[in-house]
Amino acid sequence: MNTSSLPRIAVLATGGTIAGQAGDASKTAGYKAGVVGVDKLLDAVPALGLVARIHAEQIASIDSKDMSAALWTTLSRRIDALLAQDDIDGVVVTHGTDTLEETAYLLHLTVKSTKPVVLTAAMRPSTALSADGPLNLLNAVTVAASADAAGKGVLVAFNNQIHSARDVTKTSTYSVGAFRSPETGVLGFVQDGRVEFQRTVVRPHTAASEFAVAEQWPMVEIVASYADASRVMVDALVAAGVKGIVVAGTGNGSMHATLTQALADAVKKGVAVVRASRVGSGHVMRNGAASDDVLGTVSAGTLNPYKARVLLMLALGSGLDDLQRIFDTY
């Protein structure tokens, strides 16, 4: 086979369980994430050579619970620089599953290219019996090498499914089918080298997005509503200089009366407050379970609290204040 005409895909490794190592092959928990280097991950998948020519970089070696906004800036800028090169056709990012949905959405809104960007991960460490990382990596590179993946924003290839970065979320602590897109479903499938899209992405992203990563990120935090919630956390955040708060509300973004009063006070002090839901699916309607018009709050629509935080950070970091338009658009 003449491989010189294959697409050239950059694989950027950041750590995670896909690069995890346990002392015993029977262990799928109790391992250390982010210790195996990108070259070893690639060596474990010889079939990659039939799909793409690989350029590999180790961007970080972390457990993704420790992902930082500074690393997001580095990653987004590196992807943009690589995709600006004529000899790079797409990018795959290997990542931990725990914050994959946040990084994916951040890149979906900040990368300025229509070339494919695909994130993947694994639920079992690389040393495990039936490790899922090698096939997920092969599938992610297969998607990134597919012309059909261009212009669809950032994608997540996991367990033979292709998800949009906007909609995907981790829904299991142990299953190799850990990711779902609850309100919208998968975009398509990748299996045995075949990439099949069944839906497309209509909200603006990547080159059509108005956002860019920042050197300095605004402080945006998440608080939850629950039975007997107090105002202690909101007041402490306001005292600490928070710029935005996302509420993981009950139901359709409803909030305990005490929390509602604290957040209304925060809005009067200039803090941006976005109502999302802790439920895990469904949407939070403007003026639905709480009056956004009266409180001065914004509804998150179908974004979960963690993705709503990403969008609020980007909006505030870009100096934008028409926040309901932003949440209705992205």
Residues that constitute the known binding site for substrate: 64, 97-98
Q: Does 96 bind ligand SIN (CB under 6 A)?
A: yes
Sorted by sequence, the CB contacts under 8 Å of residue 114 that are 6+ apart come out as 150, 151, 206, 207
DSSP H or E run through 157: strand 154-158
Nearest CA-CA partner of 284 in 300, 264, 306? 300
φ/ψ of residue 91, rounded to 5: -130, 140
For the bound state, the minimum distance from the C-beta of residue 266 to ligand SIN, rounded and expressed in Å, comes to: 31
Q: Does 17 bind ligand SIN (CB under 6 A)?
A: yes
| Residue 50 DSSP SS3 | helix
DSSP H or E run through 277: strand 272-277
Nearest CA-CA partner of 58 in 94, 85, 110? 94
From the list 14, 28, 94, 97, the catalytic residue is: 97
Nearest CA-CA partner of 260 in 270, 250, 315? 250
From the list 14, 17, 94, 297, the catalytic residue is: 17
Nearest CA-CA partner of 163 in 209, 110, 117, 211? 117
**Residue 260 is among the residues annotated as catalytic for this protein:** no
For the bound state, the minimum distance from the C-beta of residue 15 to ligand SIN, rounded and expressed in Å, comes to: 6
Tell me whether residue 13 or residue 33 sits nearer to ligand SIN (CB atom).
33
In the bound state, the residue with its beta carbon closest to ligand SIN is 96
Q: Does 123 bind ligand SIN (CB under 6 A)?
A: yes
Stretch that binds ligand SIN, among 9-17, 194-202, 243-251, 301-309 (CB under 6 A): 9-17
| Residue 6 DSSP SS3 | coil
For the bound state, the minimum distance from the C-beta of residue 61 to ligand SIN, rounded and expressed in Å, comes to: 10
Q: Does 167 bind ligand SIN (CB under 6 A)?
A: no
Stretch that binds ligand SIN, among 10-18, 53-61, 139-147, 262-270 (CB under 6 A): 10-18
Sorted by sequence, the CB contacts under 8 Å of residue 30 that are 6+ apart come out as 22
| Residue 17 DSSP SS3 | helix
**Residue 302 is among the residues annotated as catalytic for this protein:** no
Exactly one of 97, 164, 297, 302 binds ligand SIN (CB under 6 A); which one? 97
DSSP H or E run through 191: strand 188-191
Q: Which residue has the tokens 């600490």?
A: 240
Stretch that binds ligand SIN, among 15-23, 49-57, 103-111, 292-300 (CB under 6 A): 15-23
Q: Does 125 bind ligand SIN (CB under 6 A)?
A: no
Q: Are 104 and 162 in contact (CB under 8 A)?
A: no
Q: Does 101 bind ligand SIN (CB under 6 A)?
A: no
Tell me whether residue 70 or residue 84 sits nearer to ligand SIN (CB atom).
70
Q: How far apart are CA 139 and CA 16, in angstroms?
A: 17
Exactly one of 64, 73, 169, 225 binds ligand SIN (CB under 6 A); which one? 64
Exactly one of 9, 10, 22, 33 binds ligand SIN (CB under 6 A); which one? 33
Exactly one of 98, 101, 132, 292 binds ligand SIN (CB under 6 A); which one? 98
| Residue 77 DSSP SS3 | helix
Q: Where are the alpha helices (DSSP H) in the chain?
A: 38-43, 69-83, 100-110, 133-144, 232-239, 257-268, 292-295, 305-317, 323-329
Tell me whether residue 97 or residue 299 sits nearer to ligand SIN (CB atom).
97
Exactly one of 63, 102, 132, 167 binds ligand SIN (CB under 6 A); which one? 63
For the bound state, the minimum distance from the C-beta of residue 14 to ligand SIN, rounded and expressed in Å, comes to: 8
Pairing mode of beta strands 161-164, 154-158: antiparallel
Q: Does 16 bind ligand SIN (CB under 6 A)?
A: yes
Stretch that binds ligand SIN, among 35-43, 76-84, 94-102, 200-208 (CB under 6 A): 94-102
Which two tokens mark 10?
A: 């950059």
| Residues labelled as active-site residues | 17, 97
State the residues that interact with ligand SIN by CB under 6 A. 15-17, 33, 63-65, 96-98, 121, 123
